Amino acid sequence: MSVSVKNLPELSEEYPLTEEQITSFRENGHVLLRGVCTPEEIAAYREVLNSAAYRFNAETRPIEERDTYGKAFLQVINLWTKDAGVRKYVFSRRFASIASRLMGVDGVRLYHDQALYKEAKGGHTPWHQDQYYWPLDTDNVVTMWMPLVDVPINVGALTFASGSHKTGFLGHLAISDESHDRWDTLVKEQGYPVQNAPMQVGDVTFHSGWTLHMAPGNSGDYTREVMTVIYFEDGINALTPDNENRQNDLESWLPGIEPGTVAASALNPVLYP
C-alpha cells in the first residue's frame, strides 16, 4: 500500500551532534552517526524510496554482463525531482543541519541525491574520491550515506581511508579497476587507517568529498539499499571543468551555471538554514 506524502515523518528535529563527532569528522574525513533516524521513520520512507529507485532505474543487464562500475550498484540520481515523497526525504532539515554543522558553514545547498543499491552478489565499489566528479570551488562538500536496511560489512559497508581528505585532489581517476589499484597502493603506502563498521537501520555516515572510500562486494542474500544526499556550502562558485566527468556534472546538476559564478541553479536549493 502506498504511503501518503503528508503522512511521512517530517524529519525536521535536529540531531544532537556532539563536538567530539564534529572533531572526528574533520580529523578523519568521515563520521558514523548512530540513530539519526528511528527504525519507524526509515520504514515509512523505505517504501517511497524503493518504489522510486526501481521505477526509474535504467540498468537491466544481468550483473555478469556489466563492467566493474556497473556491478557495484544500481544508481539513480536526483529522484527528488521525480517523486514528492523522495523530495520530502531529501529536503530534510535534520540531515542538512548535520551537514552544515559538520562543515562549520552557515548554510548548505543540495548538489544531488543518489540511490545506490548494491544487489546480492554485486561487486565491490572501487576506491575513489567523489569530488573528482564535482565542479565545485570548495572543500566544503559532504555526502550523507544512509542504508534503508541493516548493512553488515559483507553486504557492502562503506569503508574509508581516514585522514586521506587532507591531501585533497589526488588525480584524474574515475571509479574503475585502475582507481582501485592505484588508491589501494596509496592507502597502504601512506598508512591511512582503513575503517568501516556494520550499520543498522537509522545509522548514517557523512564523508568529505576528498575522502578516499570504497565498499566490499555484497556476499549477502539481499540488496544493500542506500540513499545518499550530497550537500555543499552555500555561496561558493562553480569551477571550470578540468575533466569530462566534471563537465558532465556541470551540465547535469548545475544547469545554466557558468564557471566562476555562484553554484545556485534551480536544482540546488538551499536546504539549511
The grid coordinates listed for 6 are 503528508
Phi then psi for 113, rounded to 5 degrees? -100, 165
- Has domain 26-256 been given CATH number 2.60.120.620? yes
Cα separation of 144 and 199, whole Å?
Answer: 14
188 — pLDDT class (breaks 50, 70, 90): very high
How many Cβ atoms sit within 10 Å of the Cβ of residue 92?
Answer: 22
Judged by phi (left if over 0) then psi (alpha if -120 to 50, else beta), residue 261 lies in: beta
118 — pLDDT class (breaks 50, 70, 90): very high
pTM metric for this prediction: 0.95
Sequence-distant (≥ 6) Cβ neighbours of residue 93 within 8 angstroms: 11, 12, 14, 271, 272
Cα separation of 44 and 41, whole Å?
Answer: 5
Cα separation of 163 and 57, whole Å?
Answer: 34
Interval 138-187: pLDDT, tens: 999 999 999 999 999 999 999 999 999 999 999 999 999 999 999 999 99
